[in-house]
Amino acid sequence: MAVVLALVSWTGIAGHPITTLAASSVTVNVPESIDPTGATDASGALMAFLGTVPDGATIVFRAGSTYRMDAGLKFSDRHDLTFEGNGATLKSNGDVHETSSLFALWGGDTGITIRDFNLVGNSPTPGVYNPGSEGAHGVLVDGGSDIDVSGVTVSAVWGDGFYVGSWAANVSFHDSAVRSNGRNGVSIIAGRDVRVERVAFDNSGYCTFDVESNDPTEGASNVSFVDNVIGHWGNIFFAANGAAGSVVDGVTVDGNTVTGGTLAADVTLARRQNIVFTNNVSNVQADGPVLRFAHVDGLTVTGNIQPLRSGSLASILDSTAVTYRGTPAAEESSPGTAPLLPLFVAAVVVVATSGLVSRRMHRTPRAWRGRR
């Protein structure tokens, strides 16, 4: 363990300077006694070790190591911790529930940084959605704030690559790769100020980016999904529905490229606010409408490129403050001739919107979760 001490000075009573020593960083290596070969379960030993590490520390994993995880690395009420993976692998050998998420931030955590890990699940059918077996995620952030995850590669997890719930705030997931996940690339159940950027999502069994509350107390505020590269999705690229009465205000989906599917989007639960869907690109032909929006107050849909076999790019119903512009590839029109609708759109094209049914997100009962 290395402790770096810094001189901290300020003016005390009667103007006398006061100098004290304060710990500014602590670096702790994962003990060599914890099996780094993947042959035996390391989860219990890692949990016990984490309990001895003070807040404010950097935890360094051994480069090239593999830790078998019969349960997730689960912690709560920890502060200012950095997990430095050095390319280490956490390999799941657990069940399909949330407690087997490889990193499980279980509430009250602040200032947590996770970087440079290989997170490997144990789904026998990577990238395939298995209803009821969708709780074990790559990284679960259940409450807390100021969470930064980068440089991680997630594969073969039963559930989501990245999950945000319990109104976690100021969460960033970036510069990473989700190679295969059974449910969603990213799920936002309840979160604010969440940003997902420059992440490759190769194969998501259900949805790439899903904002979906389970009950009216959940929702989303100021969420961005930008500059990501998406391969295959099983059901839809983007959705923001969920429980009636929940509030979703401020979701931006911008600058994403989908190579293995269309830009299929569905935001049709009354009422969502301030949805921006712009500058996204797919090269896979579709029958329109591809984008379905209804009951949105404050909707911007511009700059998207989506080749069509038939139909129109978007269906927009019962929405206010709408700015819509098609693209030459999407609307089969010449540059500059696509319509701009700046205030209100009753419908770009009227279609039934019942084809996509909102699905309640699987959430392990409280008895499993062991919450307070």
Give the closest residue to 173 by CA, choosing from 147, 191, 193. Answer: 147
Domains plus CATH for the chain? 25-261 (2.160.20.10)
Give the closest residue to 206 by CA, choosing from 97, 358, 7, 70. Answer: 358
Whole-structure pTM value: 0.85
- Give pLDDT, residue 327: 61
What average pLDDT does the segment 157-182 reach?
A: 98
- Give pLDDT, residue 1: 53
Which has more pLDDT, 331 or 180?
180
What average pLDDT does the segment 264-287 reach?
A: 97
- Give pLDDT, residue 22: 35
Tokens 């692998």 belong to residue: 89
The per-residue pLDDT for range 48-69, each reduced to its tens digit, is 999 999 999 999 999 999 999 9
Which has more pLDDT, 333 or 200?
200
- Give pLDDT, residue 12: 35
Give percent above pLDDT 90 in the chain.
Answer: 81
What average pLDDT does the segment 25-45 reach?
A: 97
Residue 98 has pLDDT above 70, yes or no: yes
Neighbours of 93 (CB within 10 A): 16
Residue 23 has pLDDT above 60, yes or no: no
